[in-house]
Amino acid sequence: MTDLSADLVRQKLKLRERLRFRRRHFVANLDGMAQLAAFRALPAPLAGLLADHMVIGAYVAWGDEPDILPMVAGVADAGAAALPHHSARVPEMDFRRWRPGESLAKGPWGTQQPADDAPLAAPGIIFCPLVGFDRSGGRIGQGGGHYDRYFAAHPAPLRIGIGWSVQEIDATPRESTDIALDAILTEQEFILCGDRL
């Protein structure tokens, strides 16, 4: 690891700590109605795309991440939703189909995921949770690189980051392996970051 990449890793670690603290306190101070109202409806540009029966890659919220499963409930009920899946504690992940009511298993990284025998899926849109973001599509995730590796291997799906507005920063430190987002959805706004939407 070069000094530059080691410095970026340190910057990201410090940012993750600060942004997780900020997110935790923001969510703790949201009233129940505000939490229920957040992330319940798809933004208009995405709702139009979903009419084409595209598979959506969603996620099961962990801790104080935004819960988007109610937002994609209609798609999930129709069998067009998929969740991240890890076969083992390896860097790669895939997506497997999931419907509401189907059981979830604890994955090797501690997240809830579909069963190992759930059908593989190729989402056309992927919603990914954020620790931090900037308006040009830079994102800070949990630090494992799972989404970046998936995005690099599967460049076609639209990449939509999901986060609370307090997670925004001016600029995210970026490594060559960091893949930019196409848009970001917060409880306040839908931010377009590129020209794919």
Radius of gyration, CA atoms only, the chain: 16
> What length does the chain have?
197
Q: What is the pLDDT along the chain (197 residues), one digit of tens a residue?
A: 345 578 888 888 999 999 999 999 999 998 888 877 889 988 888 877 776 668 999 999 999 999 999 999 999 999 999 999 999 998 899 999 999 999 999 999 899 999 999 999 999 999 999 999 999 999 999 988 999 999 999 999 999 999 999 999 999 998 888 999 999 999 999 999 989 88
Please tell me the CATH code under which domain 3-192 is placed.
3.40.50.10420
2 C-beta neighbours (distance < 10 Å), count: 7
Q: Give all strands (DSSP E) within the chain, no chain letters.
A: 56-57, 81-85, 94-97, 105-106, 112-113, 120-121, 125-129, 132-133, 139-140, 158-162, 183-185, 190-192
CA distance 101 to 158: 26
Tell if the pTM clears 0.85, that is, is over it.
yes
